[in-house]
Structure 1
Amino acid sequence: MRLERLSWTEKLSGPKARRPIPILSPLFRDAVIQASLNPRVRKLSFVRTLCFRGVEVPADLLLLHGEDRVAMELLDARPLRGLDEIGMLLLALERSGSRLRQMSARDVEQEPLLSNCRLVWNSRDAEVHRADRHAIFAALGQGATKLGELRRSCGLGCETVHALMCADLIGADLSLPLNDDLAIVRIRRPAVPRAASPPR
C-alpha cells in the first residue's frame, strides 16, 4: 500500500484496497495500516454510506473482509449521529452481512502492534529483487519460519521482509515482539475470478 494525496485528503491504496481509502485522522491512518498488515484480513474497503429501505445512511466505516465482514468505526473519527441514525446504521449493517466493531484510541495504540506496524510500513516502497522474493518464498515453502532464520538463510535484511509484508505476500502477527523469534508465513490468496464478458 502507498500513501498518496488525492484532492484535499490523504488516501491509502494497495493490494487489499481496490479503491483508495480516505484517511479521516492520524489515528485512523494507523488503524488502516494495521488492517493492511493483518494476514487475516483479505480485503479492505471504505463505505461512506449504506442503504436501508431506500434511505441512504451516513457510515464512514472501514470494512475488513476476512473470515467475516467487520465494519470498523474509530470513535475519534466517527460522524455525529442521532439515535435514529444509529438504529438505521445497525439495521443497514445487519442487512449487508457486516458486524460493527467500534475501536478507541487505546485499541489502536496498543504496543508493540502500533510501533511494529509503523516500522514495517516504512519499508512499503523498498525495492525487492525477484531473486530475493523467490528465495523467501522457497524458505517458507514448508511452513512458518522464524524471522531470524529466514534472514540468515536468504542473506537478506529486514527491509526486504517488511516490504513483502506490505505487499501482502508474507505475513506475521505484529502484536508480538518484532524479533528473530517472530514466525513468518507465506500468504496465498485465492484468485479472484474475472467477470465474464457480456454476450455480443
Structure 2
Amino acid sequence: MAIKKKGERLSQAGKFSSVKCGGSVPMRHPLMRDALQQAALDPAIRSIDYLPTIPTVPSTWDVDAIVIERDGCRYYLDIVEARPRRTIAQRLMVAQALLDLGLRPLVRTESDVMREPRCTNARTVFEYASRPVDVGLRLQILGALTDDGAMPLGELLSRLRSHRDPVAAVMSLACNGVVELDLDSMPLGPRTVTRLRE
C-alpha cells in the first residue's frame, strides 16, 4: 500500500485482471502479480478490488490499496516487501482510515507468496487465463464434474474428447472461476484434485 498526496504518480509493474476483479488492479511490485494470481484462484476469496484513494481531513491521499473479500470479511493486501517508504505518521493515518472503512490488514511476506507448490501452480494456471474454451469442451468438463464430483485432473482429461487442448480448457475455466484446482498439495499433474467451484 502506497501513500502520497493526490496527484502524485505510482510506479507500476503492470495491471492485473481476473473475473474476481471489478476492473484492472494496478501493481507496483513484482510480488503483487503472484499474490493476486493466487488470490484469484483461491475459492475462499470472493472479490478483489482496488481502492486508489481515501478522503481524509484535510486532504485526499492515494493509498493504492488492494481490497480482498474473503470468508465474509474485507481485507487490504499488505505485502511486507512491497511496502513503499512512508513516514510513521502516514502509515498510522492510512492504517486507521482503512480500519475505519472496515478493512483489516492481510499481511503476507515474500516467503508466503513464493511458497511452493502454490506459486508455480498459480503461475502455470494463469498462462491460460485468456484462452477461449469451446462450448462442447466446456460442457464435457462441467458434465463430468457435476456427475462424478471432484476427481484427479488426469481422470478428467482422459474423459474429454476434443480437437482442442483439454488442459488449456481446464486451466482457463479455473481462471474464470468455474472449476477449482488444488494448488497446495502437490505440483500440477494427473493427481491434482479438480472440482466445480461452488
TM-score by length of 2: 0.81
Structure 2, unaligned stretches of length 5 or more? 1-11
Q: Which residue of 2 aligns with 1:163?
A: 172
The CA deviation at 1:164 is: 0.6
Q: Identical aligned pairs, as a percentage?
A: 28
The CA deviation at 1:116 is: 0.6
| 1:109-158, Cα deviation, whole Å (9 max, x unpaired) | 11111111111111112221001111111111143222122111224632
Q: Which residue of 1 aligns with 2:67?
A: 63
Q: Which residue of 1 aligns with 2:196?
A: 186
SS class of match (1:128): coil
Q: Which residue of 1 aligns with 2:156?
A: 150
Q: Which residue of 2 aligns with 1:140?
A: 145
Q: Which residue of 2 aligns with 1:4?
A: none
**1:13 aligned to 2:17?**
yes
Q: 1:56 to 1:129 in 2, by over 3 A?
A: same
The CA deviation at 1:107 is: 1.2
Mapped partners of 1:132, 1:71: distance in 2: 37
> Is residue 135–residue 154 contact of structure 1 (8 Å, CA) maintained in 2?
yes
Q: Which residue of 1 aligns with 2:101?
A: 96
Structure 1, unaligned stretches of length 5 or more? 1-7, 189-200
Q: Within 5 Å, which residues of 2 pair with 1:101-140?
A: 101-140=106-145
| 1:34-58, Cα deviation, whole Å (9 max, x unpaired) | 1111121111112222345665344
Mapped partners of 1:58, 1:102: distance in 2: 20
> Is residue 13–residue 30 contact of structure 2 (8 Å, CA) maintained in 1?
no
Cα RMSD of the aligned pairs, angstroms, is 2.2
SS class of match (1:19): coil
**1:47 aligned to 2:51?**
yes
Mapped partners of 1:185, 1:55: distance in 2: 48
SS class of match (2:177): coil
Aligned length, in residue pairs: 182
Deviates more, 1:120-129 or 1:8-17: 8-17
> Is residue 170–residue 185 contact of structure 1 (8 Å, CA) maintained in 2?
yes
Q: 1:46 to 1:120 in 2, by over 3 A?
A: same
TM-score by length of 1: 0.81
Mapped partners of 2:110, 2:152: distance in 1: 31
Letter in 2 for 1:35: A
Letter in 2 for 1:187: R
Mapped partners of 1:29, 1:107: distance in 2: 13
> Is residue 13–residue 29 contact of structure 2 (8 Å, CA) maintained in 1?
no
Mapped partners of 1:90, 1:77: distance in 2: 16
Letter in 1 for 2:154: G
Q: Which residue of 1 aligns with 2:6?
A: none
Q: Which residue of 2 aligns with 1:196?
A: none
> Is residue 16–residue 44 contact of structure 1 (8 Å, CA) maintained in 2?
yes
